[in-house]
Amino acid sequence: MHFPKEISAYCPKCHHHTAHDVDRGRKRAASELKWGQRRFRRAQRGYGGFPRPKPEGRAKAVRRVYLRYRCKTCKYTVQPKSFRASQLELREHKG
């Protein structure tokens, strides 16, 4: 799927449509203090095996895409609702 690097979208801070830069949201490192990670580390301790079967095969065919819209006038960033796409390419709009 092709998506433009720059779009016109509503900015909640400017209160009208402005030009926005589009970039992909990237996943940050998971915190070791979160409950799920603590539970995972506890299950890994000792002589027991891995707590769940290892994933086999390749990655999922379709994954969630998170985009961030950054207003060019006030630099306010909005992350709209995600959507699914097999692959996403941000490219310059020809026009």
* Residues with pLDDT less than 50, the chain: none
Structure tokens at 18: 């402005």
- Is residue 74 assigned to a domain? yes
Give residue 14's pLDDT. Answer: 95
Per residue in 57-77, pLDDT (tens digit) is 877 789 899 999 999 999 999
Q: Tell me the C-alpha to C-alpha distance, in Å, between residue 9 and each of 31, 41, 52, 88.
A: 33, 43, 43, 19
Residue 44 lies in a domain: no
Structurally, the chain folds into a number of domains equal to 1
pLDDT of residue 43: 87
According to the model, what pLDDT value does residue 95 have? Answer: 60
Three-state SS for 7?
Answer: strand
Residue 86 in any domain: the answer is yes
Sign of the Cα pseudo-torsion (34, 30, 2, 7, in order): positive
Nearest to 3 by CA among 91, 95, 94: 91
Side-chain half-sphere CA neighbours of 26 within 13 A? 3
Rounded to whole angstroms, how far apart are CA atoms 69 and 6?
9
User: The domain spanning residue 8 has which CATH number?
Assistant: 3.10.450.80
**What is the span of the domain harbouring residue 65?**
1-28+61-90
